[in-house]
Amino acid sequence: MHIDEIQNGDCRELIKSIDNNSIDLILSDIPYGISADTWDVIHQNTNSALLGSSPAQIKAGNIFKKRGKPLNGWSEADKLIPKQYYDWVLTWVYDWLRVLNPGGSAFVFAGRRMAHRCICAFEDAGFIYKDMLGWDKQKAAHRAQHISCVFDRRNDYITSHKWTGWRVGNLRPIFEPILWFMKPYKIGGTLADNVLEYDLGAYNENILSKYHQKPDNIFHIEAQTTDKGLHPTQKPLQLMKLLIELTTKKNQIVLDPFAGSSTTLIAALELDRHFIGFEQDENYFTISQNRILNTRQTLSQTTLFDAIALG
């Protein structure tokens, strides 16, 4: 078990080295299975709108890949994509249950489109599904196409006028679900017994004011410029810190099996928690290593300045 480190490789293999009942929190932004980035393609379908080669897609060039959205119903094979996502979650979720301490939380950023499959897989594996929290991103691009533009391009201005104000696609994606699971506490004991034995099972409402949040299940946190540029799905550091402080105490161990640029691990480090991270992509692994190193240097400088200031 490599504590306070990130390892490069497939988390489904690397997690085997972690002991049973040894992790206090799993906080992970898992692949959502909806974009065309190699690391996010979970399904087997090579004839979908996502990676497809149907005649319409070939004619349209790269446009579907750029949008990165599988269109369910486009083909029979597309309809299997959610089921394949569920099957993929099952390839690792039993190990998550095994390594977590009783009463330990797992927070999963799973995306709106596949979250239901993720919830079913977690429940089927033995987790308790506590809640769906919301992250209100405060800002998000609204990419749904105006249908009248399509008719304009066809020089069909009468139809375009009829459809003015109508869009195809989704409303502005302003929130992301954060699925909150818990490993069941020990058989025969109460939740209070579990809190006494493992320091896990309750949440710390008091820390929410530090993040300017109410004790509601929606968090309003906008990504800062420092939360961008390392990974296409980088999450705000403050949001990860909030989730860690909500459910753990100092020196407890936080695991992120799908670390990306390691926002979870940096949050844990800055909050005096131990961490374990896995990332299979070499580029993001290197970015993570540098980020961890830089954070350690900054933290030790701060400690030094504090010591000097105190005399």
Ligand X SMILES: C[S@@+](CC[C@H](N)C(=O)[O-])C[C@H]1O[C@@H](n2cnc3c(N)ncnc32)[C@H](O)[C@@H]1O
| Contacting positions for ligand X (CB under 6 A) | 10-12, 29, 31, 39, 231, 233-235, 258, 260-261, 263, 278-281, 284
Number of Cβ within 10 Å of residue 63's Cβ equals 10
Q: Taking each helix axis as running N to C, give the angle between helix 263-270 and helix 237-247, from 0 to 180 degrees, rounded to the nearest 10.
A: 60
Q: 86: closest CA among 129, 15, 33? A: 33
CA-wise closest residue to 240 among 209, 269, 214, 217: 269
Q: State the Cα torsion 300-301-307-310 to the nearest 10°.
A: -140
Minimum CB distance to ligand X smaller for 197 or for 270: 270
In whole angstroms, what is the distance from residue 77 CA to residue 198 CA?
45
DSSP-assigned letter for residue 223: P
Nearer to ligand X, 9 or 169 (CB): 9
CB of 43 to ligand X, least distance (A): 13
> Which CB atom, from 35 or from 45, has the smaller least distance to ligand X?
35
Complex with ligand X: residue 180 or 258, whichever CB lies closer: 258
Shortest distance, CB of residue 144 to ligand X, whole angstroms?
Answer: 23
Q: How far is the CB of 276 from ligand X (least distance, A)?
A: 12
Bridge partners for 100 per DSSP: 23
Segments in 127-174 forming alpha helices (H)? 147-153, 157-162
In whole angstroms, what is the distance from residue 164 CA to residue 176 CA?
Answer: 29
Q: If you ran DSSP here, which 8-state letter would residue 185 be given?
A: P
**In this structure, what DSSP letter does residue 79 have?**
G
What is the nearest approach in angstroms of ligand X to the Cβ of residue 63? Answer: 23
Q: Which residues pair with 29 in a beta bridge?
A: 109
In this complex, which beta carbon is closest to ligand X, that of residue 10 or of residue 216?
10
Question: CB 174 → ligand X: shortest distance, Å?
Answer: 18
* Minimum distance from residue 11 beta carbon to ligand X (Å): 4
Least Cβ distance, residue 143 to ligand X (angstroms)? 19
Which residue's CB is nearer to ligand X, number 23 or number 147? 23
Q: Which is nearer to ligand X, 6 or 147 (CB)?
A: 6
Q: What would you measure as the largest C-alpha separation in the chain, in angstroms? A: 79
Q: For the CA atoms of 164, 166, 167, 170, what is the dihedral angle to 10 degrees?
A: 160
Tokens of 174: 């302003």
With respect to ligand X, which residue has the nearer C-beta, 28 or 148? 28
Residue nearest to ligand X (CB): 260
Minimum Å gap between C-beta 139 and ligand X is 17
